[in-house]
Amino acid sequence: MTATEDMLTRAKEAILGRLSERSIPTSLVGLQEEYGKVVGLMRRTITMGESNSCLILGPRGTGKTMLVRHALKELQSEFSLSHSIADLDSKMEVEGDKKEFMIIRLNGLVQTDDRMALKEIMRQLSREGEAEMDGTNTTFSDSLPSLLTFLKAGTRAQYPIIFILDEFDLFAQHTKQSLLYNLFDVAQSAEWPIAVVGLSCRMDALELLEKRVKSRFSHRQYYTFPMSTFKEYVEICQNAIRLSPSDFNATPSTMDNDDLNMEIDNDTRNFITEFNRRVEALFEDEGFSDVVQQLYDFMKDVRGLYRLCFQPVSALSVSHPYLQPSQFYDSRLQQCVDNKTELLKGVSLLELCLLIAIKHLVGREIITFNFEMVYDEYKEFMDMAIARGTSSSSIGISSGGAMLSSESTTLRLYKKAVALKAFEHLVNSELLRPADSGGKGPKEYRMMRVMLDTSQISDVVKKHRDCPHLVAIWASRAY
């Protein structure tokens, strides 16, 4: 059983496409009901010319966008394949290769004000419908109706338009909400078949609407929630990293062909079976399912697992064509570690000492501190350490600040300026944050707060590569 380069490339592309959410997952899990409603709503707009508006709300990563993409894809294939079917709605005249409906996609992150959104609508309309528009109207309230009337005049038939408003809550923050007002107004007055679908991760998105806007909204809301059972979570993830014959189809656009399986030769089919078998075995692996379970328990976020899968999948090669559980352990270690601790592992001993001093200050409920206090605490420790060092072993610590190399217990009290530089390095990596915004006065005295937990500091002391015993004891000393 060998996998050819070509097969692997295709497999990787298909899986990575799903992981990066560029292609849609093969099946919906746990969202069928909402899906049916959304598709039905859009379909009614297209076939019957009914105007609709709805909101899809749900936390991030629960499949709002995916749901809409799925729905649009289905509608697109349904209506662009149905050219020849005669018994369509009489309103819809089939003209050449034009689609029977238009999709306008807007995203609150990109179209940051209504003017920009309008431009984008015009652009997408003109591209899709090839409509001729004169842009003489510059104010927003003028140009939207004129846009619609013009479209009506230019094309004889009314094209249903589906508006997808991603990050809906951001649109609601535009001044006067005029875009939303106009869209909902058109939808309500039933003069133009449009469907307005808003997506938002804010559950209170409806409350953001002004009264006049709200009253024009249909108050249809669909919710997507994170999967309720662990089984569903696993199913979604398995779907993403499993291969299906269509992934190997040479022409992905003809995915719906029935004779699809015929095009795949036996080797590929074997590869797919074997690959999927391995994937199932992977989910039965104890270590891996621990990882998945932990992710599920922490955040129920599919994207968390997707991120985890990226590396093992992209590392697939002809010599290692299947996913191994061990790869996921590495990847997990990398994605799920506490990054602050990782960052801190690389700091110098002096910076570590300053952090320990800060820990002691915080332990005494001095929450905001400045460099002078930290240095004073550090100095106290060093004085003590040096005194002890000189009494117990004369070589260990040299009092005059002279250095002895290759002696693991050498500690040295650094000058204030050197320590300040180390302190500023900590500030730069934003482990310390100014407590007040005013940047007045000498910087040694500026009050700071630490952005770490005391346990994180103790953790770093344990993990730090060359931390002398004495410092470790100092760090663990409690107040």
Q: Which of 25, 37, 50, 76 binds other proteins (CB under 8 A)?
A: 76
415 touching other proteins, by CB under 8 A: yes
Site for other proteins in 204-243 (CB under 8 A): none
Stretch that binds other proteins, among 186-194, 272-280, 290-298, 422-430 (CB under 8 A): 422-430
Smallest separation (angstroms) from other proteins to the CB of 258: 19
Size of residue set near other proteins by CB under 8 A: 104
- Please list every residue from 260 through 279 that binds other proteins, using CB under 8 A: none
For β-strands 432-434 and 448-450, DSSP reports them as antiparallel
- Chosen residue from 50, 120, 232, 459 binding other proteins by CB under 8 A: 120
Window contacting other proteins (CB under 8 A); options: 30-38, 86-94, 101-109, 216-224: 101-109
Q: Angle 391-378-396 (CA atoms, 0-180°, nearest 5)?
A: 30
User: Rule CB under 8 A: is residue 391 a binding residue for other proteins?
Assistant: no
Stretch that binds other proteins, among 41-49, 270-278, 286-294, 437-445 (CB under 8 A): 437-445
Q: Residue 2, interface with other proteins (CB under 8 A)?
A: no
Residues 343-372 that bind other proteins (CB under 8 A): 343, 345-351, 361, 364-366, 369-370, 372
Q: Is 154 in the site for other proteins (CB under 8 A)?
A: no
Q: Which of 144, 279, 323, 373 binds other proteins (CB under 8 A)?
A: 373
Selected from 126, 188, 221, 276, the binder of other proteins by CB under 8 A is 126
235, HSE (Cβ side, Cα atoms, 13 Å): 13
Q: Does residue number 155 form part of the binding site for other proteins (CB under 8 A)? A: no
Tell which positions 7-36 bind other proteins, by CB under 8 A. Answer: 9, 12-13, 16-17, 19-24
Residues 459-478 that bind other proteins (CB under 8 A): 465-466
Residue among 43 and 340 whose Cβ is closer to other proteins = 340
Q: Which of 78, 128, 235, 274 binds other proteins (CB under 8 A)?
A: 128
Span interacting with other proteins, options 39-47, 213-221, 277-285, 405-413, rule CB under 8 A = 405-413
Closest CA relative to residue 210, chosen from 189, 251, 238, 180: 180
74 near other proteins, judged by CB under 8 A = no
Q: Judge contact between 344 and 29, C-beta under 8 A.
A: no
CB of 193 to other proteins, least distance (A): 17
339: buried, middle or exposed (CB in 10 Å: 19+, 13-18, 0-12)?
Answer: exposed
Residues 173 to 202: which contact other proteins by CB under 8 A? 201-202
In the complex, minimum distance from the CB of residue 267 to other proteins, in angstroms, rounded to a whole number: 21
Longest C-alpha distance within the chain, in Å?
Answer: 101
Q: Does 437 bind other proteins (CB under 8 A)?
A: no
Strand partners, 450: 432
Q: Which is closer to other proteins, CB of 17 or CB of 49?
A: 17
Site string for other proteins, 293-332 (x = CB under 8 A): ----------x---x--xx--xx-----------------
- Among 37, 44, 91, 119, the residue binding other proteins under the rule CB under 8 A is 119
The site string for other proteins over 33-72 (x = CB under 8 A, - otherwise) reads: ---------------------------x----x---x--x
Least distance (Å) between residue 283 CB and other proteins: 22
**CB neighbours (10 Å) of residue 49?**
16
In the list 213, 412, 423, 448, the residue contacting other proteins (rule: CB under 8 A) is 412
